[in-house]
Amino acid sequence: MGLKKGMTNNPKGRPKGTRNLTTTEAKGILNGILKQNFTPAKVNRDLKELEPRQRLDMLTKLLSFTLPRPTEGTLDLNFQNLTDEQLNYILENLLQKSQQNDED
């Protein structure tokens, strides 16, 4: 007969923070794919091929992975009202800053 309900042969259980083996393997595979396909050179090349609005939209989405989220109020970025010249100006400045950071 098995153990009573709530009983275990390992009373301490899995140590806190220990990852599931499948999760660890899956993350390793995904990291390998990302390292091959998301090099700075490839990302810059792909960004330059996008239209200005698409490029700005992509950069805005990528910023959410690098900048902390605002804690108070909201950040309303409405690029629909900007002209193509204004969008290009913003993009060029962002790309220049990015290239400066890459050089440092």
Domain boundaries along the sequence of the chain: 20-49, 50-67+78-104
The total of other beta-carbon atoms located within 10 Å of residue 56's CB is 21
Helix (H) or strand (E) holding 87: helix 84-103
Q: Model-level pTM? A: 0.40
Measured CA to CA, the distance from residue 13 to residue 6 in angstroms comes to 12
Q: What is the pLDDT of residues 42-64, one digit of tens each?
A: 888 998 999 999 999 988 888 88
φ/ψ of 61, rounded to 5, equals -65, -40
Residues in contact with 40: Cβ distance below 8 Å, sequence separation at least 6, in sequence order? 102
Q: What is the pLDDT of residues 70-98, one digit of tens each?
A: 666 666 677 788 888 888 888 888 888 88
83, amino acid identity: T
